């Protein structure tokens, strides 16, 4: 049996050079991290330690009376609780370092990690200190031979245009180290249509040479992806799976070579689709869309990137050629420096040739 015919398992995926482009730092705290941080902060847990990541059962208050209830909104409130435990620069640097270590253990050589300052409640008014601490941790990680990681500073959909302008002003003026992109995330269904509200902020970011990646087409339909392209100048769409419902949108994604940062297991966990057979990932690939497979919030959801790629390979009949192309797509979709991207693509080619 040749290498192409062998099942794609987690070991092969770990060995395959790749990037990850849709993963949130807030979703990468392991249970031990949270227990240590909660003790240091003198904060009680929102639920039993053994079921800490079962966020639907937690006593975490809704954002406002009458706020829409959903698995996603409950999960976002849990991320607020997690981020609020980080109180010191040393803790923030350690969180970034451990993220790079987690990525490296999965064979990731480069990652764009999303950080939404609204989840880090102890740092309001100290944004520069927070991102400097993250950069320090990532610098140390790179010096130790771990994955290269850059940051995507993210808005929350419920924020105001003024808050968006404030973040973009800071990005343009301060040019924080390792911040390469502006992002926006949050529950589309709860926030309603948000593209028009943030169009000016994203335009200013684009004019200043800041890259743009936008969560869209997750809990809402294809309209969010259209807005991301038309109003927010998105270079990459995080999720984007609902684009499969609109043939015209699929053609545009293909024609403009806009990649999607898809997170299948996250979509299943948060109730978008009942199972992998129902997930539109194969349809997106068949339409010619540039698709990457990512983890979103892996620690909170209890899995790693190699497990997700192996599960997709098993569900959709992928072999070495398919996962090697998935790795290439991850690099091309990333905001990695050109020299690093070229090196990674060459390493992927060499890996595939060696295995085949």
DSSP code of 69? P
With tokens 């599960």, the residue in question is 311
CA distance 94 to 83: 13
Whether 87 and 40 have beta carbons less than 8 Å apart is answered as: yes
Catalytic residue among 20, 103, 218, 235: 218
- Nearest Cα residue to 82 out of 108, 45, 110: 45
3-state SS, residue 334: coil
Per-residue pLDDT, 280: 98
CA distance 258 to 279: 20
Q: What is the domain partition of the chain in residue ranges?
A: 3-355
Whether 306 and 106 have beta carbons less than 8 Å apart is answered as: yes
CA distance 164 to 184: 10
Token digits of residue 313: 């390979």
Contacts of 248 (CB under 8 A, 6+ apart): none
User: Is 218 annotated in the active site?
Assistant: yes
Strand partners, 111: 20, 149
What is the mean pLDDT for each group of 10 consecutive residues in the chain (356 residues)? 67 98 96 95 91 66 42 84 96 98 98 97 95 98 98 96 97 98 92 92 98 94 96 98 98 98 95 96 98 95 95 97 98 98 98 93
Token digits of residue 180: 């390469």
Contacts of 127 (CB under 8 A, 6+ apart): 117, 167, 170
3-state SS, residue 181: strand
- Nearest Cα residue to 312 out of 281, 288, 266, 334: 281
The helix (run of H) or strand (run of E) holding residue 239 is strand 236-239
> How many other C-beta atoms can be found within 10 angstroms of the C-beta atom of residue 68?
13
Token digits of residue 186: 């949050």
Whether 188 and 157 have beta carbons less than 8 Å apart is answered as: yes
* Model pTM score: 0.93
Write down the number of H helices and E strands in the chain: 16, 8
DSSP code of 242? G
CA distance 221 to 201: 23
Burial 309-324 (b: 16+ CB within 10 A, else e): bbbbbeeeebbbebbb
CATH of 3-355, one of 3.30.70.870, 3.40.50.150, 1.10.3720.10, 3.20.20.140: 3.20.20.140
Strand partners, 179: 151
CA distance 57 to 48: 10
Largest alpha-carbon pair distance within the chain?
Answer: 61
């Amino acid at each position: 049996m040749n290498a192409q015919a062998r099942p794609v398992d987690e070991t092969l995926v770990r060995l395959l050079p790749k990037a990850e482009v849709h993963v949130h730092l807030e979703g990468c705290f392991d249970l031990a991290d949270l227990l240590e941080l909660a003790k240091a902060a003198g904060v009680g847990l929102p639920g039993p330690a053994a079921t800490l990541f079962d966020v639907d059962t937690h006593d975490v208050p809704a954002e406002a009376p009458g706020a829409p209830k959903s698995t996603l909104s409950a999960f976002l409130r849990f991320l607020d609780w997690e981020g609020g435990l980080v109180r010191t620069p040393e803790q923030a640097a350690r969180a970034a370092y451990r993220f790079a270590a987690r990525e490296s253990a999965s064979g990731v050589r480069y990652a764009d990690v999303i950080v939404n300052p609204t989840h880090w409640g102890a740092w309001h008014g100290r944004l520069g200190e927070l991102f400097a601490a993250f950069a320090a941790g990532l610098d140390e990680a790179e010096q130790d031979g771990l994955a290269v990681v850059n940051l995507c500073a993210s808005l929350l959909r419920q924020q105001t245009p003024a808050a968006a302008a404030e973040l973009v002003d800071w990005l343009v003026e301060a040019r924080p180290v390792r911040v390469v992109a502006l992002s926006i995330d949050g529950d589309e269904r709860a926030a309603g249509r948000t593209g028009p509200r943030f169009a000016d902020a994203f335009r200013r970011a684009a004019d200043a040479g800041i890259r743009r990646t936008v969560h869209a087409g997750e809990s809402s339909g294809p309209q969010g992806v259209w807005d991301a392209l038309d109003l927010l100048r998105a270079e990459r769409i995080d999720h984007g799976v609902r684009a499969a419902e609109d043939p015209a949108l699929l053609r545009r994604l293909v024609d403009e070579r806009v990649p999607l940062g898809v997170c299948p297991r996250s979509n299943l966990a948060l109730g978008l689709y009942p199972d992998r057979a129902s997930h539109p990932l194969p349809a997106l690939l068949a339409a010619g869309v540039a698709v990457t497979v990512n983890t979103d919030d892996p620690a909170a959801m209890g899995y790693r990137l190699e497990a997700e790629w192996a599960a997709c390979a098993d569900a959709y009949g992928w072999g070495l050629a398919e996962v090697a192309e998935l790795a290439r797509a991850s690099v091309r979709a990333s905001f990695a420096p050109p020299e690093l991207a070229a090196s990674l693509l060459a390493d992927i080619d060499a890996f595939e040739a060696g295995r085949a």
